[in-house]
Amino acid sequence: MKPSISVTAAVIAGLMSLPGCTVLPRPDPPRVMDFPVPELPRQTDGAAPAMPVTLRVDTPHASEPFNGTGILAKPQPWEFRIYGGVRWRDNIPVIMRDLLAGVLRSSGSYHGVISDTNPATAQHSLITELSAFHTERPGLTAPDTTRQYDAVIELHAQLLDNRSRATLCARSFRATEPIRPEDTAVEAAVLALAAAGQALALELRDWLQACPHQP
């Protein structure tokens, strides 16, 4: 005698109700990616002393798709794609904020460097807007499909006096890092974005040190 459909359904429902038991396979969790803050030498004898202010590094402003956790590629001028099965450890603006804060702390350029999650008092704030954090083909207006991708990061920065709310310095930054044509794995994109981010952070550090309106 064959079991009825209702009995079979009841058995499946009972199995699914058991702790840790499911009929459908569970998808693998996404890989979580990050990139390191470069280790920079501290100020040495004869170098410019640290500026006697505390700098707050605010989380960059960003719109879609740069405010999520997806690792982005731009194969066409009108299209973004997200690498599957992988994500950043946090949203992209937080990744960029932590990189900038880490580079500025390592450089010893300021008496103190904090992020906007820290309630401590700071005399200056670094306000930024992120407009690119992805890989793309060079020359997207007429893309050459034979060329490799580049990692691209674009950031507009303002140094703000927290007491007067005046802008002390402002500048836009763009950093790129080529990806070899044979490197199609997501790891190559992550490493290239890390290199571009570090180059941009170091350029921004030098710009802050040269800002004429700082003490």
What confidence score (pLDDT) does residue 145 get?
58
Instruction: Identify the CATH number of the domain in which residue 70 sits.
Output: 3.40.50.10610
Q: Is residue 195 part of a domain?
A: yes
Between CA 110 and CA 165 the distance in angstroms is 19
Q: Is residue 200 part of a domain?
A: yes
Q: Is residue 77 part of a domain?
A: yes
Higher pLDDT, 105 or 182: 105
Higher pLDDT, 63 or 143: 63
What confidence score (pLDDT) does residue 21 get?
47
Q: Is residue 73 part of a domain?
A: yes
Between CA 110 and CA 48 the distance in angstroms is 11
Determine the straight-line distance between the first and last CA of the chain, rounded to whole angstroms: 90
What confidence score (pLDDT) does residue 50 get?
83
The pairing of strands 86-88 and 51-57 is unpaired
pLDDT above 80 (res 147): no
Q: Is residue 68 part of a domain?
A: yes
Give a three-class secondary structure readout of the chain. Answer: CCCCHHHHHHHHHHHHHCCCCCCCCCCCCCEEECCCCCCCCCCCCCCCCCEEEEEEECCCECCCCCCCCCCEEEEECCEEEECCCEEECCCHHHHHHHHHHHHHHHHCCEEEEEECCCCCCCCEEEEEEEEEEEEECCCCCCCCCCCCCEEEEEEEEEEEECCCCCEEEEEEEEEEEECCCCCCCHHHHHHHHHHHHHHHHHHHHHHHHHCCCCC
Higher pLDDT, 130 or 8: 130
Q: Is residue 3 part of a domain?
A: no
Q: How many domains does the chain have?
A: 1
pLDDT above 70 (res 205): yes
pLDDT above 80 (res 209): yes
Q: What is the pLDDT of residues 52-102, one digit of tens each?
A: 999 999 999 999 999 999 999 998 889 999 999 999 999 999 999 999 999
- Could you tell me the pTM of the whole model? 0.81
Q: Is residue 148 part of a domain?
A: yes
pLDDT above 80 (res 192): yes
Q: What is the pLDDT of residues 8-37, one digit of tens each?
A: 555 445 544 545 444 566 667 789 999 876
Which residue range is the domain that position 141 belongs to? 35-210
Looking at the DSSP bridge assignments, the partners of residue 127 are 158
Helix 186-210 vs helix 92-107: angle between axes, to the nearest 10 degrees? 50
Q: Tokens representing 68?
A: 């999520």
Mean of the per-residue pLDDT values for the chain? 85
